[in-house]
């Protein structure tokens, strides 16, 4: 986990600092939520975030600059490996239906 230094960010900008929350499997798709924070408040998650859906059988996904290799996706749990992506194009499929 990487903890941001608030002094390195514009205090009024929202979304540069973010987290990704796994919301489960919905209609055969893995659902994730991206929540953006401001440098002034890293503790309080926003009321709403951007929802992204991916096929439940997809094993490699990319959300912003994070690559997630999925080992198992269940309704209430996700087994995965994550890393900052060095690859910006090409090998990872995009979400099938962004929601939000």
pLDDT at 80 over 90: yes
Q: Over the stretch 36-52, which tens digit does the pLDDT of each residue have?
A: 888 888 888 777 789 99
- Contact criterion met (CB below 8 Å) for 72 and 78: yes
Question: What is the C-alpha to C-alpha distance for residues 81 and 26, in angstroms, rounded to an integer?
Answer: 21
pLDDT for 96 equals 44
At 35 the three-state DSSP class reads strand
The model's pTM is: 0.75
- Where is average pLDDT lowest: 13-22, 53-62, 74-83? 13-22
pLDDT for 13 equals 78
Question: What is the C-alpha to C-alpha distance for residues 26 and 56, in angstroms, rounded to an integer?
Answer: 9
């Amino acid at each position: 986990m990487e903890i941001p230094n608030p002094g390195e960010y514009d205090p009024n900008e929202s979304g540069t600092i973010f987290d990704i929350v796994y919301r489960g499997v919905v209609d055969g798709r893995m659902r994730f939520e991206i929540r953006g924070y401001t440098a002034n408040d890293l503790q309080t998650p926003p009321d709403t975030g951007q929802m992204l859906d991916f096929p439940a059988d997809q094993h490699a996904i990319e959300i912003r600059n994070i690559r997630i290799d999925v080992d198992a996706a269940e309704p209430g749990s996700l087994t995965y490996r994550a890393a900052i992506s060095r690859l910006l194009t090409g090998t990872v499929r995009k979400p099938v239906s962004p929601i939000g």
